[in-house]
């Protein structure tokens, strides 16, 4: 009969790997160009955002590389743009 419990070592290792993967994803996202970030949006997201707003978000991404396109959209909506 097998046990479904993990040892403390196994849990610590799994937590460490999860943290490492999260940090790597965040680093890779920061290192993406504005074009890459825009290209990752779905066609539906691009359509909802609209060309004008998308061009503003694109320029913002070039100036602020850590910015996420959807976060930029949310910020624009909050200020009424």
- Sequence-separated (6 or more) residues with CB below 8 Å from residue 12: none
Which DSSP state fits 80?
A: T
Query: How large a percentage of the chain has pLDDT more than 70?
Result: 95
- Per-residue pLDDT, 4: 67
- Per-residue pLDDT, 80: 87
pLDDT tens-digit readout, 16-46: 999 999 988 878 777 788 888 898 889 999 9
CB atoms within 10 A of CB 78: 8
Average pLDDT, the chain: 87
């Amino acid at each position: 009969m097998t046990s479904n419990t993990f040892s403390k070592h196994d849990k610590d290792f799994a937590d460490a790997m999860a943290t490492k993967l999260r940090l790597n994803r965040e680093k890779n996202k920061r290192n993406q160009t504005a074009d890459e970030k825009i290209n990752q949006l779905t066609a539906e997201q691009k359509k909802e955002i609209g060309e004008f707003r998308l061009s503003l978000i694109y320029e913002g991404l070039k100036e602020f590389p850590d910015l996420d396109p959807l976060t930029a959209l949310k910020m624009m909506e909050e200020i009424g743009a």
